[in-house]
Structure 1
Amino acid sequence: MTSVQGTAVDIPTEDGVADAYLAHPGDGAPRPGVLLYQDAFGLRPHLRAMADRLAGAGYTVLVPNLFYRHGRAPVVELPEFIDPSARPEIFANLRPIMQSLTNDLAMRDADAYLRWLAENPLVTEGPVAVTGYCMGARLSLLTAGTHPDRVAAAAGFHGGRLATDTPDSPHLVAGRVTAELYFGHADDDPSLPPEQMERLDAALTEAGVRHHCEVYPGAHHGFTQADTAAYHEEGAERHWTALLDLLKRTF
């Protein structure tokens, strides 16, 4: 594990300025870029720690505040340990903010994030990887399909609503994906029932996308997030192994 440097950065978008966190190896040499998409709770110390861990493995990692239109992070006040069942107002405050981030807005932002990475001297030339958590898993898939020339690998963990029957379902971009994909699904996840898992896998298979989808037994929605009640240590460590293996195959 190399030394890591983390800094706050601002990214111009079509709709304003997104605050973000950038982590990279401390030697300042260019490394493959990784765009890390947050869960609903947003840019906070735990996500910065995740970015640092990835950077320590040899990558330049960008974690944007996806909710920047509603203010700089943290957009809503969060406790150090997040237990939504004990603090239902957290989701009550977050839900309208999440719903306001439409696919179109998110992909317009993705263009800005990917362009910023492409122009950054700390990032090697060529396509980048994307990884996302909860709502970020959906955006990871959409980004791979919307910007296929810029995404070489994409991963999603405990994602919800990845393959719905709505016209804006993320799985419908499968035919445009050129990246290798990996999904680590939560076990018994109401936001991703078995029929959606099957629909996603079938769409990716039919489109000829290199992909691997797995269900993590005993790991529920949000299992990678160590500052939440959903954390599942075994599932979280398995996710790191899968993600780093994907990145090694890609770069």
Structure 2
Amino acid sequence: MTDTATTGTVSFGYEDVAPDEKTARVGGVFSSVAKNYDLMNDAMSGGMHRLWKDRFVRRVQPQEGQQILDMAGGTGDIAFRLAASGASVTVADINPAMLEVGMERAAKRGIDGLVWTEANAETLTFPDRFFDAYTIAFGIRNVTDIPKALREAHRVLRRGGRFFCLEFSTTTWPGFKEVYDGYSHKMVPKLGQLLAQDADSYRYLIESIRRFPDMPTFKGMIADAGFVRTKAEPILGGLVAIHSGWKI
């Protein structure tokens, strides 16, 4: 991950670009893949993302009456799971195409009561101390200014509220990293081209994983934003991780 403060650039896959350019280009990627969201995640995880999301929501422990913000959750994958508990869920995403897919999916499933809003994780319009929990799944690595987004997450949470993030990371299992790197770099773009006629977007998504901070570094970033009792729970040795922290 490139340090904006010292270079004026941020990472877009393996490229270093201006922050505004990254925001625009990430928007293009997700407008392109919105209709094939499940396909994208299946390609990158071998279908295991569904189990990881179930595990993630179990860690959140949503409860009836809670207010939960699901950031970068446009297609509803996490929100649908959260809402099953009776919690009030606001789904926020910077990309209207992703939100459109989510609303269509919710209508087909007969899921009512979700609030859908277009929002930038770095500049939320929600009031201070409004939510009981903040969730973001496979979205934080695409944010242009991650520390700013983490500070915003802290701001909108009530005291006692919790931050939860599900994201690809770096596995520490010997041998497995090399196997997954080979699969992801060589096969995922080919699958993207074959199944969605879009190799470039899938290539970016894989590259963005490689540029994302490792578990200790990202855990430190969450603490720097003001959260305490931060935790990183590795899955598959850290290929994916659930990060969490408390606001006190």
Fold-level similarity (TM above 0.5): no
> If the length of structure 1 is used for normalisation, what is the TM-score?
0.36
Higher helix share: 2
- Bigger RCO of structures 1 and 2 (CA < 8 A, at least 6 apart): 2
